[in-house]
A and B are shown apart, each in its own frame.
Chain A
Amino acid sequence: MSATITKQAPGLTSSSAVMALLHMRTFIALFLVLIFFSFAAPNFLSTANMMIMSKHVALNAFLAVGMTFVIITGGIDLSVGSIVGLSGMVAGGLIMNGLNLGPIGYTIYFNVVEVVLVTLAVGILIGALNGFLITRLNVAPFIATLGTLYVARGFALLSSDGRTFPNLVGNAELGTTGFPFLGSGVILGIPVSIWLLVIIGCGAAYIAGRTPLGRFIYAVGGNERAAALSGVRVNRVKMFVYMFSGFCAAIVGLIISSELVASHPATGESFELNAIAAAVLGGTSMSGGRGKIGGTIVGAFVIGILSDGLVMMGVSSFWQIVIKGVVIIAAVVVDQFQRRLQQRLALQQQAAIGG
């Protein structure tokens, strides 16, 4: 059968090699950054430093994983930074003050597990609000999530009048102790937040690669109308991605306030931009339909290591901002180049069989 025969056109092998290199480009970038800093910055490769850096990277990586799904469907979620702030305040408030049932005169104190669950629910709820605005009220994703960015941040500030909830160690009598474990706990020598990232990252990659939901996420971003006509429930898919993004943001809010043992309402400002940058650096296309969770996590590591490494080298933080911008632009340029090459290769293969 002609259908199953793959003939190689001349010159195809060399471009295939280039393609392979291009596919690995985020990994290659990661290695280059690692090698460069291991020479340029003292103590860069020490275990302690690696641990600290990974914890930094993890925060951005959580947001970027959620953001990747959203961007693959052709949307954007600008509200994640504010959800980080608000969920930190929810957790902090519940531990410090409990839930005050005002007129009845009762105050309910939750244990840490309950606090975590409530906080995650708040993140998912704001994601659901984003999804509702976008799917039911037809608000453009950029505008809808820009709105919730302000609303969530405003509520975070209102919750404490702009003050910090300090010293969230909890009270043994009320059963609210144990919160700091999330941010500073260690299991088998590896920080809890890294374990969580592994779980969320693998889960998301599994959804993307092996489940119908993942396939539908790509389909919606690739061509919404064709997807709908194939029986994909487009609105449900969109609801899922925004809720998942809110969930990821709530995790970050919990980890940060746990790490600092305090929650501040301004936490997470401009985090959304770092998350978008990591996703794009990892090969996610802003026009939707393309992107990989693995790429995004590597992208988050490149950005994180770059900024930490530059700090250790003593490079001015102003220059760091410039360098970060240049790296993102370069990544997208290379991405475009790869896409064109890939299309040409597929056309050549097709021409070789005379189709």
Chain B
Amino acid sequence: MNADQEVILSVRGATKVYPGTIALKSVDFDVRKGAVNVLVGENGAGKSTLMKIISGVEQPTEGTILLHGEPIRMTSTQDAIRNGIGIVFQELNLFPNMTVAENIFITREQCRFGIDIDRTTQEEKSRALMRRLEHDIAVDRPVGELRIGQQQIVEIAKALSQDARILIMDEPTSALSATEVEILFRVIAELKAQGVAIVYISHRLEELVRIGDFITVLRDGSITGSSSMKDIDVPWIVRSMIGASSKDYAKTAEHKYGNEILQIEDITLPRQGGGYMVDHVSLSLRAGEIIGIYGLMGAGRTELFDCIMGRHKHAGGTILVGGRPLPKADVLERINGGLALIPEDRKAEGLIQIMSISDNMTLASLWNYVRGVQIDGKKERATVAQYVRKLAIKIANPDNEVASLSGGNQQKVVIGKALMTDPKVLLMDEPSRGIDIGAKAEVFRTMRRLAADGLGILFVTSDLEEVMALSDRIIVMSKGRITGDFQRVGATEQAVVAASSVGHDITGQTMEARS
């Protein structure tokens, strides 16, 4: 760390407003040349939004981007590439049907006479890139045949081939094996030596401490910490990520728990190519209890919910609701048995966007309103109105398309749909995802009230603060297994975070589960 690590790119006062939410609040961010600039924060903290602004995918509502001190305006990724900014997205942007070389030179094909693609040159250059990345990948193979880790390397090669002076990597190690991570770190060191500025985003704190030079922490769209890496440690990062000020969480209404209402034993879901997505998970939930399941992405939490809900025919294990076994993997049977799922992806799985609010709400409980063979419209409307009131959903007309509602209200529609099936256990997958802070507080209050009414709630979150504040019990998952089980009293953030990275971290530090 010395003085020649000048700032090559800086963002000043960037604010980004989306309909309904503010994703970034006047953020300042510096990218230093020849250094690894780490960006860290919880899901929804605004990391991706900031990266999208730097890579030209989105324009800031307010604020400027300075390159070498000059303000620049980028309206597309093409602009960013011209300015020497390359990005490796978390979700791979590759064409599986095309070869490695074709992917690397997509939209920048090397042509003879401007029309004839020069395959030989492209493949030679691609081979050179692969040598530089120490990977022996045949450049004429279709990308679809490569392992995910290798695809990630191709994506990195693509960014390198654009002569990027600034390289953004969004969770590049999430799909890599330990050896591949080591190679990647060597490549990063080499690029650093060549003066490339690297912006590195990751959830794995040990990794950040190891390779980072500068660190910036984002929380709720604001910068909460920015420092040189040598001055700080992991607890500092966790503190900055979580913050001192707490969000508006509903107060715990003191109530007694009832009997065991959900028992799951030995749930397994095999992974394609060996191993388990959900690895022999057992837990039990009592009426009135809220259990928060914390873990990193890919820890198997969503898959666990899918198994409980009967969406995987080849899942193993037993599920008992109120002591009654539900042996058949069938969604309708599970709903009738007293389970209800509020899925993570509201748009793709929670709602039917082109149907009306009312039709969406009653879809899962439609048989309750049937008289003879037909739907009793009056009863249906009355029930919808009752739940609209109960959940305080703001709607103009229940016959409008559900797509016209804001995220928070859409989420309440999904919750309403689940509640109308009269469940005993509510499974909520990231219930606060994509809704603004006010709506979040309201969703949390609703969860508390439902628990007080005797419902058992199992919810998944990647938000540490949320899991600490809302759960009566915290279960931590990592790599498909339960790696931690904490009562609310006695659980510390450090312990929860440590349990979530069991099997992940480089240092091999483990945390024994306690209960």
A residues engaging B (CB < 8 A)? Answer: 1-4, 6-7, 206, 210-212, 215-216, 218-219, 222-223, 225-233, 289-290, 342-343, 346-347, 349-350, 352-355
Q: How many angstroms between the C-alpha atoms of A292 and B15 in the bound complex?
A: 46
14 residue pairs from A and B, CB less than 8 Å apart:
A2-B394, A3-B389, A210-B377, A212-B375, A222-B352, A223-B351, A229-B343, A230-B335, A289-B355, A343-B401, A346-B396, A349-B396, A350-B400, A350-B404
Known A-B contacts A212-B367, A218-B359; the reply to A230 vs B396 at CB < 8 A is no
Cβ of B400 and Cβ of A231 under 8 Å apart? no
Q: How many angstroms between the C-alpha atoms of A347 and B406 in the bound complex?
A: 10
Q: What's the dominant secondary structure at chain B's contact region?
A: mixed
B residues engaging A (CB < 8 A)? Answer: 309, 311, 331-332, 335-336, 341, 343, 348-355, 359, 363-364, 366-367, 370, 373-375, 377, 385, 388-389, 392-397, 400-401, 403-406, 409, 417, 421
- Shortest Cβ distance from B181 into chain A, in angstroms? 34
B348 contacts across to A, CB distance below 8 A: 223, 225-226
Cβ of A212 and Cβ of B403 under 8 Å apart? no
The contact of B352 among A289, A342, A355, by CB within 8 Å, is A289
Closest chain B residue to A228, Cβ basis: B331
- Shortest Cβ distance from A350 into chain B, in angstroms? 5
Q: How many angstroms between the C-alpha atoms of A232 and B405 in the bound complex?
A: 24
B332 contacts across to A, CB distance below 8 A: 231-233
Q: How many angstroms between the C-alpha atoms of A346 and B354 in the bound complex?
A: 12
Cβ of A355 and Cβ of B406 under 8 Å apart? yes
B396 contacts across to A, CB distance below 8 A: 6-7, 346, 349-350, 352-353, 355
Cβ of A227 and Cβ of B406 under 8 Å apart? no
Q: How many angstroms between the C-alpha atoms of A233 and B309 in the bound complex?
A: 14
Cβ of B395 and Cβ of A219 under 8 Å apart? no
Q: What's the dominant secondary structure at chain A's contact region?
A: helix
Cβ of A226 and Cβ of B352 under 8 Å apart? yes
Cβ of B354 and Cβ of A4 under 8 Å apart? no
- Shortest Cβ distance from A290 into chain B, in angstroms? 6
A226 contacts across to B, CB distance below 8 A: 343, 348-352
Q: How many angstroms between the C-alpha atoms of A218 and B358 in the bound complex?
A: 13
A228 contacts across to B, CB distance below 8 A: 311, 331
Cβ of A354 and Cβ of B375 under 8 Å apart? no
Closest chain B residue to A9, Cβ basis: B396
Cβ of B406 and Cβ of A229 under 8 Å apart? no
Q: How many angstroms between the C-alpha atoms of A41 and B374 in the bound complex?
A: 45
- Shortest Cβ distance from B406 into chain A, in angstroms? 6
Known A-B contacts A218-B359, A350-B405; the reply to A227 vs B352 at CB < 8 A is yes
The contact of B364 among A225, A230, A346, A350, by CB within 8 Å, is A230
The contact of A212 among B341, B351, B366, B409, by CB within 8 Å, is B366
B364 contacts across to A, CB distance below 8 A: 230-231
- Shortest Cβ distance from B456 into chain A, in angstroms? 19
Q: A225-B349, A346-B397 are in contact. List 15 more A-B contacts (CB 8 A).
A: A3-B385, A3-B392, A211-B374, A212-B366, A226-B343, A229-B341, A230-B331, A230-B363, A231-B421, A342-B401, A346-B404, A349-B400, A350-B395, A355-B394, A355-B406
- Shortest Cβ distance from A354 into chain B, in angstroms? 7
A4 contacts across to B, CB distance below 8 A: 385
Q: How many angstroms between the C-alpha atoms of A210 and B403 in the bound complex?
A: 23
The contact of A355 among B331, B374, B405, by CB within 8 Å, is B405
B395 contacts across to A, CB distance below 8 A: 3, 350, 353, 355
Cβ of A212 and Cβ of B400 under 8 Å apart? no
